[in-house]
């Protein structure tokens, strides 16, 4: 049994295990994308009461020929499944997602995942260069967890590693411009017995071929993501839900439907019998 204090390690799994893994790119096909779409969507429907999102229209305000990176915090196992459904169900694009220890889940390649080895900066370089190449196809969205490691929910400050800035910088140089969109994700219990997924998309940031200071730009992106996550959390904690659309919402269980009916009965008026 894992102890609570051991849930979050500062050392990436591939570095901790010190095992070299051969790089494996994403390997999608229409059939496997059809399977992944239904499988990953079904997983969310089975575990969550609803999936709600806002700000998606910002995605369509950019030039469709500009490649885009979506970046989000990483706090739990569901983040990759949420990212897949964001790209596939909301934006109708293929995801390209870095996954450590992909050898444990090789079928994820069929959905758009590719592996990254974080033993050293040199070991991870192949995954970074592959990300740049995949951005050249505007049917792809590169979805990144730029903290580089799983952090506790609502961990602060949000500090990013420089890998995403490297990808953005090289993509901007190669394609003339690249767009980056922060994504805030929360998993919350509201008035149902199952949690809901809340996603908010931030304003798009465009990077041109001008080379930024990598550390300063990484700090800027981290601050932008943190501000969006804090805003979303503050809105939800004050019941400000305006603007959220619903990807799915489960029907109430039979006992919840009975509960709702009972709430409508005015006990002071009597039964009428």
**132-162: per-residue pLDDT in tens?**
999 999 999 999 999 999 999 999 999 999 9
Lookup: tokens for 21: 């893994």
Closest to 114 (Cα-Cα) out of 100, 124, 104: 100
Looking at every residue in the chain, the average pLDDT score rounds to: 91
Q: Are 123 and 117 in contact (CB under 8 A)?
A: yes
| Pairwise pLDDT comparison (200 vs 250), residue with the higher score | 200
| Pairwise pLDDT comparison (133 vs 6), residue with the higher score | 133
Q: Please check the confidence at residue 272 and state whether its pLDDT lies above 60.
A: no
pLDDT of residue 152: 94
Rg of the chain (C-alpha set): 21
Give every CB contact of residue 143 below 8 A, 6+ residues apart in sequence. Answer: 69, 70, 71, 72, 83, 86, 87, 95, 96, 97
Tabulate helix, strand, coil % of the chain (nearest 5): 45, 20, 40
What's the distance, Cα to Cα, between the start and end of the chain in Å?
A: 59
pLDDT in tens, 71-89: 999 999 999 999 999 999 9
Q: Please check the confidence at residue 263 and state whether its pLDDT lies above 70.
A: no
Per mean pLDDT, which range of 32-36, 185-189, 251-255 is the poorest? 251-255
Q: pTM for the whole thing?
A: 0.90
Domains of the chain: 15-269 (3.40.1130.10)
């Amino acid at each position: 049994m894992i102890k609570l204090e051991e849930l979050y390690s500062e050392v990436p799994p591939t570095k901790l295990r010190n095992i070299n893994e051969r790089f494996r790119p994403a390997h999608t096909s229409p059939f496997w994308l059809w399977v992944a779409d239904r499988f990953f969507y079904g997983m969310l429907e089975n575990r969550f009461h609803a999936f709600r999102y806002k700000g998606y229209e910002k995605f369509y305000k950019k030039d469709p020929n500009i490649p885009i990176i979506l970046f989000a915090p990483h706090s739990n196992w569901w983040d990759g499944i949420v990212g897949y459904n964001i790209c596939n169900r909301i934006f109708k694009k293929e995801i390209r997602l870095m996954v450590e220890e992909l050898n444990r889940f090789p079928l994820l390649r069929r959905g758009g995942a590719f592996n990254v080895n974080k033993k050293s900066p040199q070991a991870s370089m192949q995954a970074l260069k592959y990300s740049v190449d995949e951005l050249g196809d505007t049917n792809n969205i590169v979805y990144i967890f730029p903290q580089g490691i799983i952090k506790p929910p609502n961990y602060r400050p949000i500090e990013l590693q420089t890998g995403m800035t490297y990808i953005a910088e090289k993509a901007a140089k190669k394609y003339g411009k690249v767009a980056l969109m922060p994504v805030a994700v929360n998993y919350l219990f509201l008035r149902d017995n199952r949690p809901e997924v809340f996603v908010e998309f931030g304003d798009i940031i465009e990077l041109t071929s001008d080379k930024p200071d990598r550390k300063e730009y990484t700090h800027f992106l981290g601050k932008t993501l943190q501000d969006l996550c804090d805003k979303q959390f503050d809105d939800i904690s004050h019941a400000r839900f305006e603007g959220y659309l619903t990807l799915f919402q489960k029907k109430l269980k039979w006992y919840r439907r009975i509960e709702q009916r009972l709430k409508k009965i005015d006990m002071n008026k009597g039964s009428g019998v």
